[in-house]
Amino acid sequence: MWSASHSTILEMPVTIRTATPDDVSEILAFIRALAAYERAPDAVIATEADLLHDGFGPNPYFFCLIAELGGRPAGFALYFFDYSTWLGRPGLYLEDIFVHPEFRGRGVGKALLERLAAIAVEKGCARLKWEVLDWNTPAIDFYRAMGAEFPSEWLNACVGGEALLRLAGAADRLDDRAPSFRRSSGERMGDHERQPLISGEAAE
């Protein structure tokens, strides 16, 4: 059973804030929890140093939101911007979204998506995109109820690891820094290779 203090926390409103460099350890914990949820607990090789460098340097590759309940980290969303050549406008791509199980059903995932949608509108984005694993039916139902569509005519493509270096003509420079995208059944395949997805890991 939950303690009285935990029950009180769950009754508090969800707050969403922009992540800071001090949050990198918590962000990495969220990423690892998401990987475990997606049945690939050993797939994460990112480090706190990677996140600090790539998300909080002078030219960040990603941005991050932290959701809190009663001052406790409840969920997160990590995103970046892409561009539609057909529409001539930017888009917001949601890479990861996750809510800890004990905080689900409290509107945390919805609050994160609503804030992301607001950011997309503020930045003049034409759309908000993300992926969801095809076996994650609770998430699919949740996202569909929020207006998400699942185009079936598109397939995700990914070139990583040694194949990426070969494509770049750099096979002679292979070293341990090149991540492998081989996977066992159920593992994530790469940054954008998850199936037409959106993730129930955070959607409740």
Question: Annotated active-site positions, please?
Answer: 143
Beta-carbon contacts of 178 under 8 Å, excluding residues fewer than 6 positions away, are 161, 162, 164, 165
Separation between Cα atoms, residue 156 and residue 131, nearest integer Å: 10
Q: Of 9, 132, 116, which is closest to residue 73 (Cα–Cα)?
A: 9
* Cα 89 from Cα 72, distance rounded (Å): 36
DSSP state of 19: -
Contacts with 53 (C-beta within 8 Å, 6 or more apart), sequence order: none
Q: Do the Cβ atoms of 77 and 112 come closer than 8 Å? A: yes
Is residue 163 within 8 A of residue 174, CB to CB? The reply is: no
Tally Cβ neighbours within 10 Å of residue 68.
Answer: 19
How far apart CA 179 and CA 162 sit, in angstroms, is 8
